Amino acid sequence: MIKGNYPLGLFKDRRTPFYFYDTTLLQQTIEEVKRQIADRPSWQVHYAVKANANPDILRIIADAGLGADCVSGGEVSAALAAGFRPESIVFAGVGKRDDEIQLGLDAGIGRFNVESTAEMMVISELALAAGRRAPVSIRVNPDVGAHTHANITTGLAENKFGIHHSVLPEAIALAQRLPGLDFRGLHFHIGSQILDMSDFVSLCNRINECTEKLELMGIRLQDINVGGGLGIDYEHPNHLPVADFRSYFDVFKRHLDCKCPVHFEPGRSIVAPCGTLISRVLYVKDGLHKQFAILDASMTELLRPALYHAWHRIENLSSDGPEEKYDVVGPVCESSDVFGKGVVLNRCSRGDFIALRSAGAYGESMASRYNCRPLPESLLL
Ligand code: LLP
């Protein structure tokens, strides 16, 4: 079994579990993103902070010059603290509280992506009271499906996100009428972990329909934000560590008619591959028909398998023993606290280091304190 290359010597004296981040891979990934859009100077990439808000990770991404896509006041504050320029911050979310809107206004963020007419009215009022006009884009529900897990598709009419594309002209008319708003553009996002590029082609087709219609009505857009969603290869983290940004950006280069600046919000594809949850085997236990490798990591550090049956590659970093099958589980008192069933690992013994790969996105950021467990620490190298 080919395994990742990890500095086990550095892990020896650390308390597990913890997140290990390979910052060289993170830098390479960001460089690849920049390379793929170098021929489109007006395009902008806003990293989706929800994927990983570790302050050190955020600082690396901010220093590389990317913007930030936030979905809460807490994320806006984290982005500002990490050094993202306020005007490069976009703020989405179906339920922004007044104090969160106020925070965005005070900081002078680049864009509020609004998701309902009710929200537009509140932002307009708050902006007027502050003597400002809030820059807004309307999040459109494109009613475009994505071939991904049902819990992470967002662009269908049945989902709570955005304003349905069929009533877009009325929503824009309201945004243009409200005195506290400065209407700028449109925002879309169809889902996450998307590997079938034809889903993004469908998104482009829907965007083209919208922009054509709006053009006929004389409505000009300053820019279009197409959201995030590019998937990564969870199965082969060792041989394809950087996501396929070339194919992804090519879709938009080839299929979007609008010549206005395009904004992107990748999260997972930037940070997932560079992160690994490192844990230790606490016990190996024989069940009736199987054996369990009981780790010191659990669903409180990495919730994805329990929540979405998400698959992460698991490797025993400290053993070259014969391969055996294990149900790899955590210690939390929930039957769903399982990282994988029938996982083939080199023979496990107490104290072995176990790597849960591709955990840089939606791992640390979704950690919880259930069972009074501490939040995971991190090590960047
Ligand atoms: N923009 C918006 C408006 C979003 O809702 C999201 C993700 C992104 C951008 C970033 O998408 P990405 O490039 O990371 O696919 N916790 C789930 C994923 C939830 C994604 C939510 N929205 C998971 O662990 O798979």
Question: Residue 354's beta-bridge partner residues?
Answer: 279, 316
Cα–Cα distance measured from residue 259 to residue 207, given in angstroms and rounded to the nearest whole number: 12
Exposed, middle or buried by CB within 10 Å (0-12, 13-18, 19+), for 177?
Answer: exposed
Length of the chain: 381
Return the H-helix or E-strand segment holding 11: helix 8-11
To test the pocket of ligand 1, the residue of 192, 203, 226, 301 to mutate (highest count of ligand atoms within 8 Å of its CB) is 192
Question: pLDDT 10s digit of each residue in the chain, 381 long?
Answer: 789 999 999 999 999 999 999 999 999 999 999 999 999 999 999 999 999 999 999 999 999 999 999 999 999 999 999 999 999 999 999 999 999 999 999 999 999 999 999 999 999 999 999 999 999 999 999 888 777 666 666 667 677 788 998 899 999 999 999 999 999 999 999 999 999 999 999 999 999 999 999 999 999 999 999 999 999 999 999 988 999 999 999 999 999 999 899 999 999 999 999 999 999 999 999 989 999 999 999 999 999 999 999 999 999 999 999 999 999 999 999 999 999 999 999 999 999 999 999 999 999 999 999 999 999 999 999
What's the CATH code, domain 8-17+274-380?
A: 2.40.37.10
Closest ligand 1 atom to the C-alpha of 269? Answer: 13
Cα–Cα distance measured from residue 2 to residue 177, given in angstroms and rounded to the nearest whole number: 60
- The yes/no answer on whether domain 23-270 falls in CATH 3.20.20.10 is yes
| Token pair 């919730």 in the structure block, residue | 303
**Token pair of 219, please?**
């409505």
Assess whether the C-beta atom of 154 lies below 6 angstroms from ligand 1. yes
Q: Which amino acid is at 220?
A: R
Cα–Cα distance measured from residue 94 to residue 84, given in angstroms and rounded to the nearest whole number: 23
Assess whether the C-beta atom of 139 lies below 6 angstroms from ligand 1. no
Gap from CA of 67 to ligand 1 centroid (Å): 16
Assess whether the C-beta atom of 251 lies below 6 angstroms from ligand 1. no
Residues of the chain with CATH 2.40.37.10: 8-17+274-380
> For 217, left (φ over 0), alpha (ψ -120 to 50), or beta?
alpha
Assess whether the C-beta atom of 123 lies below 6 angstroms from ligand 1. no
Which residue lies with its CA nearest to atom 23 of ligand 1?
362
Distance, CA of 65 to chain centre: 18
